[in-house]
């Protein structure tokens, strides 16, 4: 399988100088700081799906050039769209949130955030997962299960540190094709694909013995089922959390921007591996979420990234909401 990303790392992510976008925040509660790094904002948002306790952890932020969100559209398409919502037109600020699910004896992480990975456009105190877990009384050794949606650097950054697993008592679940792809040897030239492969190697090879495969429809732990959501990457999965009538569809990266994804599901994100498949996945998941009035979550939506998808004719809208 070849993966030709024509944009270089510099042109894709470089050149962004503005600092922060005005994004709506919901119900941000600050966990007690457990680390001396006073600049780290550690926010968590906690609610329940049936008996499962769900804690959304604010791990990181970065800025992304706006044209990357309409990569298959004519130049200049994205600006007026963002302007309509009062947002900056040259870049978008993305959040990253890791979800901790406590279900019976299971302590499950959905992805592992940025860890020590640095991107261009990074904020300096990114990778707050471990410190935030400490602030809420959870050590890495307490985590029983890590479920990886896909192998992009901003999702696997805390799998390993210095060549050893961070969550050494956990099983790490990843689709076999994602594992195979992101552990390919990177090339030597400086490019964004090689950067991503480098992170994949550094993060995924040390957890080899702890890795378990999963596929569409698998209930990985009671109450958490994998939902195939290919396109962003070929093995990308979303997750359905369910206890009785209570459900949450975690979109992970099926939609990356909380407005562009639902409102313009056919607009491709520059890093999508299969743009057509990504659009089909968005339409399928949004249709299901709207019809079933599912609570949804997005990994990169404004913290805590929880809301509903409502049908608005030809497309959809993400409506953020508070959860109790």
Of the two residues 135 and 148, which places its CB atom closer to Zn ion in the complex? 148
Min dist. Cβ of residue 124 to Zn ion (A) = 19
The region of 5-13, 48-56, 146-154, 314-322 touching Zn ion under the rule CB under 5 A is 146-154
Which residue in 154, 178, 263, 272 binds Zn ion (CB under 5 A)? 154
**Least distance from C-beta 249 to Zn ion, angstroms?**
17
Burial of 18 (0-12, 13-18, 19+ CB in 10 A): exposed
With respect to Zn ion, which residue has the nearer C-beta, 133 or 252?
252
Do residues 145 and 171 make contact, with C-beta atoms less than 8 angstroms apart?
Answer: yes
Q: Please select the residue that binds Zn ion; options are 58, 111, 253, 272, rule is CB under 5 A.
A: 253
From the list 138-146, 164-172, 253-261, 309-317, the region that binds Zn ion by CB under 5 A is 253-261
The span of 66-74, 154-162, 268-276, 281-289 binding Zn ion (CB under 5 A) equals 154-162
Q: How far is the CB of 46 from Zn ion (least distance, A)?
A: 22
Decide: is 111 part of the binding site for Zn ion (CB under 5 A): no
- CA dist 4 to 7, 13, 192, 272, Å? 9, 16, 10, 11
Report the residue number, 59 or 253, with the smaller CB distance to Zn ion. Answer: 253
> Contact region for Zn ion (CB under 5 A) — 124-132, 153-161, 189-197, 273-281?
153-161
Candidate segments 116-124, 176-184, 203-211, 249-257, binder of Zn ion by CB under 5 A: 249-257
Q: Which helix (H) or strand (E) holds 60?
A: strand 52-65
Q: How far is the CB of 152 from Zn ion (least distance, A)?
A: 5
**CB neighbours of residue 227 within 10 Å:** 20
Q: Which of 248, 288, 227 is nearest to 48 (CA)?
A: 248
Q: How far is the CB of 59 from Zn ion (least distance, A)?
A: 11
State the number of binding residues for Zn ion (CB under 5 A): 2
Close Cβ partners of 17 (under 8 Å, ≥ 6 residues apart): none
How far is 200 from 180, CA to CA, in rounded Å?
Answer: 10
Q: How far apart are the first and last CA of the chain?
A: 44
| Listed residue (234, 206, 229, 201) closest to 216, CA to CA | 229
Q: What whole-number distance in Å separates Cα of residue 313 and Cα of residue 103?
A: 37
283: helix, strand or coil: helix
Place of tokens 């407005």: 259
Which residues contribute to the site for Zn ion (CB under 5 A)? 154, 253
């Amino acid at each position: 399988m070849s993966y030709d990303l024509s944009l270089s790392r510099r042109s894709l992510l470089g050149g962004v100088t503005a600092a922060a976008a005005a994004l709506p925040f919901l119900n941000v509660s600050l966990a007690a700081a457990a680390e001396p790094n006073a600049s780290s904002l550690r926010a968590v948002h906690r609610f329940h799906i049936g008996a499962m306790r769900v804690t959304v952890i604010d791990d990181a932020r970065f800025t992304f050039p706006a044209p990357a969100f309409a990569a298959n559209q004519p130049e200049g398409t994205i600006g007026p769209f963002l302007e309509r919502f009062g947002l900056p037109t040259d870049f978008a600020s993305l959040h990253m949130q890791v979800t901790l699910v406590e279900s019976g004896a299971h302590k499950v992480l959905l992805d592992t955030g940025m860890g020590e990975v640095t991107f261009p456009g990074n904020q300096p105190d990114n990778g707050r997962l471990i410190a935030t877990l400490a602030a809420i009384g959870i050590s890495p050794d307490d985590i029983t299960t890590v479920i990886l949606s896909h192998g992009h650097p901003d999702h696997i950054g805390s799998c390993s540190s210095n060549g050893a697993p961070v969550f050494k008592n956990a099983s790490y679940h990843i689709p076999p094709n994602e594992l195979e792809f992101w552990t390919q040897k990177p090339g030597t030239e400086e490019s964004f694909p090689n950067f991503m492969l480098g992170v994949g190697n550094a993060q995924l090879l040390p957890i080899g013995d702890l890795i378990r495969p999963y596929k569409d429809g698998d209930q990985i732990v009671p109450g958490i089922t994998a939902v195939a959501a290919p396109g962003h990457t070929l093995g990308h999965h979303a997750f359905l959390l369910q206890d009785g009538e209570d459900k949450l569809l975690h979109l992970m990266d099926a939609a990356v921007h909380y407005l562009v994804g639902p409102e313009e599901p056919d607009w491709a994100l520059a890093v999508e591996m299969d743009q057509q498949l990504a659009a089909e996945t968005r339409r399928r998941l949004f249709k299901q979420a709207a019809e079933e009035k599912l609570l949804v979550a997005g990994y990169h939506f404004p913290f805590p990234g929880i809301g509903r998808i409502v049908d608005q004719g030809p497309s959809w809208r993400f409506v953020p909401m508070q959860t109790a």
